[in-house]
Amino acid sequence: MKNIFPLILFVFLLSGCPEKKDAPFDSTVQIINNSDKELIYCIYQKKIGDTTLSIGQPFVISDSAYQVKGQSIKLEKGHFVYNLNSKPNLYFIGFLFSRDSLLKYGWERIRDSYCIEKRFVLQKISFDSSNIAIITYP
C-alpha cells in the first residue's frame, strides 16, 4: 500500500496538466505618434455606443508597455479581428493620453473631465487586408 502512493504521484506528474494554447494574434493596431509628447494608450472592448472611461486606471503610468514615445510607432498585437467577427455587438475603443497630464492631474481628474488627447474606434472596416489598423496622432 505504501508503494502505491509514489506510483500514483509519479503517474499524475508524468501526465501533466493540459496546456491552454491561445491562438496566435491575428491583428495589429499601429499607433504613430508624430508629436514630441509622450503618450499613454489603452484599448477597451465595449458595447457599441459606449465611450466611457473605466473607473479604475487601466494601466500603470510607468509601464512602458502602454507608452508611445514622441516621434515613434507602437505596435499592439491582439485578437482584434477575431473578437470583432465573433461578437458583432461589441467594438474596440482606444484612448491616447498625455503622460505628463496623467502624472500632473491623476486618473480620476482625467476621467472625470474626459481629458484625452485622442479617441479612436476600431471596427472591422478599420483593419486593412493585412489586419493592421493605423492610428495617427495628432
**Which has more pLDDT, 98 or 17?**
98
Distance separating alpha carbons of residues 86 and 107, to the nearest angstrom: 32
Using the predicted structure, report yes or no on whether residue 2 has a pLDDT greater than 50. yes
Q: Cα 105 to chain center, whole Å? A: 23
Instruction: Determine the pLDDT at residue 45.
Output: 94
Computed over every residue of the chain, the mean pLDDT equals 88
Tell me: pLDDT of 6 over 60: no
With bands split at pLDDT 50, 70 and 90, how would you rate the model's confidence at 106? Answer: very high
Q: How much is the pTM?
A: 0.81
- pLDDT at residue 49, as a whole number: 87
Mean pLDDT of 11-26: 61
> Domain boundaries in the chain?
19-137
pLDDT for res 22: 73
Rounded CA separation 136/29 (Å): 11
The arrangement of strands across the sheet holding 39-47 comes to: 67-68, 39-47, 90-98, 118-122
